[in-house]
Amino acid sequence: MKKRIIRIISFALALVAVIGATLYLGAVLQDARLDNREGHLLCGYYDTTDPHDVIFIGDCEVYEGFVPATLFEEYGITSFVRGSSQQTVWQSYHILEETLERETPKAVVFNVLALHYGKTPSESISRMSLEDMEWSKQKIDAIRASMTEEESFLSYFLPILRYHSRWSELDSDDFKHAFDKHADITHQGYLMQTHSDPVDTSDTRQPEAMLEALPERAIEYLDKMTALCKEKGVELILVKAPTNSIRYYWYPEWDAQMVAYAEKNGLAYYSMIGKDEEIGLDWSKDTYDKGLHLNVYGAEKVTSYFGKILAEDHGLTDHRGDSAISAIWEERINSYYNERGEK
Amino acid sequence: MNFASFGFLAFLAILTLVYFLVPKKVQWIVLLVGSVVFYAFAGFVGFFFLLFAIVISFVTVQILGKRQAALKKYLEDTKETLTKDERKAYRAKHKNGSLLVVCIGILLLTASLVYVKYLSGFINSSLSFGSGAISFGSLAIEVMGISYYTFISIGYMIDVYREKAAVERNFFRHALFVSFFPQLAMGPISRYADTGEQLKATHSFDAKESWCGLLRILWGFFKKLVVADAIAPTIGYIVSEKLGGIYFILLCLFYSIRIYGDFTGGIDIVLGSAQILGIKLPENFNRPFSSKSTAEYWNRWHMTMGNWFTNYIFYPLSLTKSMQKLSKWGRAKLGVGIGKRLPVYTATIITWLATGLWHGFAWNFVVWGLLNGVVILISQELNPLYEKFRARFPKLWHSAPYQSFMAVRTFLLMSLIRVFDCYCDVPLTFDRFFSTFYTFNIGEIFNGGLLELNVSLTQYIVIAVGIVVMMIVSRLSIKKPLRETLWEKPVLGNAIMALLCIAILVFGSYGLGFDASAFIYGGTFN
Amino acid sequence: MEKLIEILENLHEGIDYETCDTLIDDGILDSLDIVTLITDINDAFDVAIPPEEILPENFNSAKALWELIERLDNI
């Protein structure tokens, strides 16, 4: 009898130990992979409690292209950027769903570049977006929609299943910070890049001719976003950032498809490609990676340009007169300039 | 269904729960339904072949059973009226009729096996060996397990013919005996005497059996994921790059480790799963790498297959009238020594040829089978010499170094033979083998060559530790399995179980692998 | 019986066949030995040991083997 009790207790303890170790080691092993800046672009949103007039949603072109600090400084529009690396449309849709559960902005700005993905382009990059979300029904849906064939759903609950082979790279720091909350390194979702690496003008490569229209699956999710915004009474605005490198080339055919889509659904669509002069972009200074993405100087110009459109054509309120709101934003603007350096 | 998957574990957990919750009378139905579900995961094409084997073997044993009953009655009725010789003649005639029935059954099943294996290439359904790329998980394709259930069915028909097994009259119970799910993917090839009655019996939950079964499953995962699959990349690399010299020797060693971990580990999962359900499947391995001769090795490795071939091919073949005549002829013409050997030797070679072909219709398997046969016969011929040596130097013979020498010799020899199914190319295998005689690049492996085989130093260390643990466990399991010893020491046992789980989760080769650069967004721009 | 012991001794020397009753269980006789043995017995005693009689209990000792031969002779 006594042996039986010992047996049951020790088995239960073993079970607890395995579960505990699985969770702890999972956190330790997962942690370091998120040690890069692009791994924490979505988590900052959960800490904000004040409402936003505009939510930007999309891939790198939103978190490197729109600066909420500038938007408030110049137009008094409150905003947040919910962008992440290679954020696919289905991820955007579920992130939008999640966002609209929490607040009802006046407008949602969606950058259309990611529409060219018909399936998840990179399991690891996609995972960074998904893992940075808080647990919710929308997160589960986003995982289901994003999973590549060889992935297991369980590995999102038990990160050890995904990251276990990292064991040989662990150092003591990983163990110390296993359960630390990740600091928000963005400015309202905007990821600061201050250095410049000009476009290589000697590179004369031309993009190949377009092979396919935007994938059906992507358009399906765009339809869902349109419907959701309509249902919630939020205006959906489509944009295409001015960057247009060979790597992420936005074909005129796709652009035409978007123009038609916007017209059909009564949406505004702004493509900033070819608007360098109006925006004032200087590709020898305003990009940090040879024209793939904008740096902070380019992003500010784009925000300035687009903010005017928002304010004039979409009737967004200027909150600069509201002292309570201004106070919150002043702090944000200060911290923004702290990292950027004075104007 | 992949044994090394969460899907399988979930399946097993649900099945176990249902199995012990339903009334005991219907437990066997749960197992049958479970087997059908398990098989359904492998696609319904294969279902037809399984059903074919079940129906053919069922019909055959029913006919055999009826004939046997009729014979018995006839002999009883004619006890008084017929002479002993008349009765003997009748019995012999009747037996020939039964033989015809069982032969037709065997022929039909063999035909379906040959058909499937020929059509679907030669590897898909042969589950135990095959190329280095094979893992037991990926084997659930095409007609899963046909080699195994065909052999189980044929063995059962012969056992009934020989009156060594009872006739199962219930079709569904018979279906369960043939298709019991754990043994579908990689054996063991059980006989009616092993599982027939057990699958009919009722089983109460037994903590000890379930605990030991669980530990055994985990141990199987450890062998497969931490050792076998971890060393696998080296094999693929050496084979595809056609490396020679010392690398060929490494390949022999690594492939032996891999196949041992993969196959014995897989069987541990199979037997452990059955054990949780209270069913004891026959063991398939008995410390094979401790064998001191090739013949002994084949009594310890893939034992149920070896027994099958011995019982159903080797013995009948060597004892046929024509073989015995061959022996008589040989004794008269070629001398007593050769005449005596003729049947045994002929049967040995044919049996090994069949064994090779069972693994797959390819030259490498033919050569592999023949080599095994030849090595066994050579050692048989050398036996008198050994025995003289042993009588002359009994002390040396029984000394530990000499015993170890024999074990190592057998291990190396078997590794060399086994490597044929790595290359799947006979001339290439010989070519690489001979390269060890003219390519001396032993220094290379210590100058970083070892690390170029797609396995890192830390991974080698884990594999090495895994191998040492496997050797220790094997050593401690001679008298009785270590898990049973551990059951008596619950604290230690459960601690080991927990450690095993964690070791598998962290060090196991599964999932997508980790590449830090894949997680840097900028890293994708080139 | 003496003839049987002689046959067995030709197979492997140095084993006390009169008393040993674990010829199979201890692996003294392997499958090749068994076939050789049966060939010899069939020849010497004019019986035919069928494959289904190759069971450990029939081959574990000289005594059991002798009983098998007698049984087959009497059918």
A50: left (phi over 0), alpha (psi -120 to 50) or beta: beta
What is the nearest CA distance from C49 to chain B, expressed in angstroms? 8
* Domain range list for chain B: 6-204, 206-285+441-509, 290-311+319-424
What is the nearest CA distance from A1 to chain B, expressed in angstroms? 13
User: Using the beta-carbon criterion (under 8 Å), do B495 and A14 form an inter-chain contact?
Assistant: yes
Residue from B292, B319, B351, B390 to probe the interface with C (highest C Cβ count within 10 Å)? B319
Question: What is residue B132's predicted lDDT score, i.e. its pLDDT?
Answer: 33
Nearest Cα to Cα of residue B221 among B9, B371, B441, B429: B9
Q: What is the mean pLDDT of chain B?
A: 85
Question: What is residue B522's predicted lDDT score, i.e. its pLDDT?
Answer: 66
ipTM metric: 0.88
User: Using the beta-carbon criterion (under 8 Å), do B295 and C14 form an inter-chain contact?
Assistant: no
Question: What is residue B281's predicted lDDT score, i.e. its pLDDT?
Answer: 94
What is the nearest CA distance from C36 to chain B, expressed in angstroms? 7
Burial A20-55 (b: 16+ CB within 10 A, else e): ebbbebbbbbbbbbbebbbbbbbbbbeebeeebbbb
User: Using the beta-carbon criterion (under 8 Å), do C34 and B387 form an inter-chain contact?
Assistant: no
Question: What is residue A136's predicted lDDT score, i.e. its pLDDT?
Answer: 93
Query: Is the whole model's pTM more than 0.95, yes or no?
Result: no
pLDDT in tens, B342-386: 888 888 999 999 998 888 777 888 888 999 999 888 888 887 788
Instruction: Return the number of other C-beta atoms located less than 10 Å from residue A193's C-beta.
Output: 19
Question: What is residue B493's predicted lDDT score, i.e. its pLDDT?
Answer: 94
**Which of A3, A33, A247 is nearest residue B519 as measured by Cβ atoms?**
A33
Instruction: Please report the sign of the dihedral spanned by the C-alpha atoms of residue A106, residue A111, residue A116, residue A119.
Output: negative
Determine contact, residues B509/B229, Cβ cutoff 8 Å.
yes
User: Angle at the Cα of A113 (from A108 to A114), degrees rounded to 5?
Assistant: 85
Domain presence at residue A158: no
Question: What is residue A151's predicted lDDT score, i.e. its pLDDT?
Answer: 85
- Locate the chain B residue with the closest alpha carbon to A4: B490
Do chains A and C meet with 3 or more Cβ pairs nearer than 8 Å? no
Determine contact, residues B54/B112, Cβ cutoff 8 Å.
no
How many angstroms separate the CA atoms of A43 and A82, rounded?
A: 9
How many angstroms separate the CA atoms of A235 and A229, rounded?
A: 6
**Which of C35, C48, C52 is nearest residue B344 as measured by Cβ atoms?**
C35
* Domain range list for chain C: 2-74
What is the nearest CA distance from C9 to chain B, expressed in angstroms? 13
User: Using the beta-carbon criterion (under 8 Å), do A11 and B458 form an inter-chain contact?
Assistant: no
Q: How many CB pairs under 8 A join B and C?
A: 54
User: Using the beta-carbon criterion (under 8 Å), do C35 and B319 form an inter-chain contact?
Assistant: yes
Question: What is residue B28's predicted lDDT score, i.e. its pLDDT?
Answer: 94
Q: Which residues pair with A187 in a beta bridge?
A: A190
- What's the CATH class of domain C2-74? mainly alpha
User: Using the beta-carbon criterion (under 8 Å), do A292 and B525 form an inter-chain contact?
Assistant: yes
Question: What is residue A142's predicted lDDT score, i.e. its pLDDT?
Answer: 94
**Which of C14, C32, C40 is nearest residue B391 as measured by Cβ atoms?**
C14
User: Using the beta-carbon criterion (under 8 Å), do B314 and C31 form an inter-chain contact?
Assistant: yes
Helices (H), chain A: 2-33, 60-63, 68-75, 89-102, 123-131, 137-146, 154-157, 160-163, 172-176, 216-232, 252-265, 276-279, 296-313, 323-340
User: Using the beta-carbon criterion (under 8 Å), do B490 and A6 form an inter-chain contact?
Assistant: yes
User: Using the beta-carbon criterion (under 8 Å), do B343 and C35 form an inter-chain contact?
Assistant: yes
Q: Which residue has the higher pLDDT, A12 or C29?
A: A12
Question: What is residue B364's predicted lDDT score, i.e. its pLDDT?
Answer: 83
Question: What is residue B123's predicted lDDT score, i.e. its pLDDT?
Answer: 43
Count Cβ atoms within 10 A of the Cβ of residue B332 and give its class: 0-12 exposed, 13-18 middle, 19 or more buried.
exposed
Question: What is residue B1's predicted lDDT score, i.e. its pLDDT?
Answer: 60
Question: What is residue B141's predicted lDDT score, i.e. its pLDDT?
Answer: 38
What is the nearest CA distance from A167 to chain B, expressed in angstroms? 7
pLDDT of chain B along its 526 residues, tens only?
Answer: 667 777 888 999 999 999 999 999 999 999 999 999 888 877 777 788 899 999 999 999 999 999 999 998 888 888 788 887 888 888 888 888 999 999 999 999 998 888 877 655 444 434 333 333 333 333 333 677 888 999 999 999 999 999 889 999 999 999 999 999 898 888 899 999 999 899 989 999 999 999 999 999 999 999 999 999 899 888 888 888 878 788 888 889 999 999 999 999 999 999 999 999 999 999 999 999 988 888 888 889 999 999 999 999 998 888 888 887 888 788 788 877 787 788 888 889 999 999 988 887 778 888 889 999 998 888 888 877 887 888 888 888 888 888 889 899 889 988 888 888 777 777 888 888 888 787 777 777 777 777 788 888 888 999 999 999 999 999 999 889 999 999 999 999 999 999 999 999 999 888 787 777 777 776 545 3
C15: left (phi over 0), alpha (psi -120 to 50) or beta: beta
pLDDT in tens, A32-67: 655 677 888 898 899 888 999 999 999 999 999 999
Nearest Cα to Cα of residue A128 among A13, A26, A33, A256: A33
* CA dist list (Å): C6 to A63, A230, A242, B200, B390: 94, 101, 100, 46, 22
User: Using the beta-carbon criterion (under 8 Å), do B299 and C27 form an inter-chain contact?
Assistant: yes
B402: left (phi over 0), alpha (psi -120 to 50) or beta: alpha
Taking CB atoms and an 8 Å cutoff, what residues of chain B touch A154?
A: 6
Residue B252 has phi, psi (to 5 degrees) of -55, -50
* CA dist list (Å): B107 to A105, B60, B154, B449: 76, 11, 9, 51
Neighbours of chain A (3+ CB pairs under 8 A): B
Intervals of chain A under pLDDT 70: 32-35, 342-343
Neighbours of chain B (3+ CB pairs under 8 A): A, C
User: Average pLDDT for residues C48-67, to the nearest whole number?
Assistant: 86
CATH number at residue A291: 3.40.50.1110
**Which of B494, B506, B525 is nearest residue A167 as measured by Cβ atoms?**
B506
Collect contacts of B377-386 with beta carbons under 8 A, ≥24 apart.
B377/B345, B377/B348, B377/B349, B379/B293, B379/B294, B379/B295, B380/B295, B380/C32
Taking CB atoms and an 8 Å cutoff, what residues of chain B touch A3?
A: 490
**Which of B507, B516, B524 is nearest residue A125 as measured by Cβ atoms?**
B524
User: Using the beta-carbon criterion (under 8 Å), do A166 and B511 form an inter-chain contact?
Assistant: no
What is the domain range of residue A196? 37-132+185-340
What is the nearest CA distance from B87 to chain C, expressed in angstroms? 10
Nearest Cα to Cα of residue A134 among A186, A182, A86, A192: A182
Question: What is residue B75's predicted lDDT score, i.e. its pLDDT?
Answer: 86
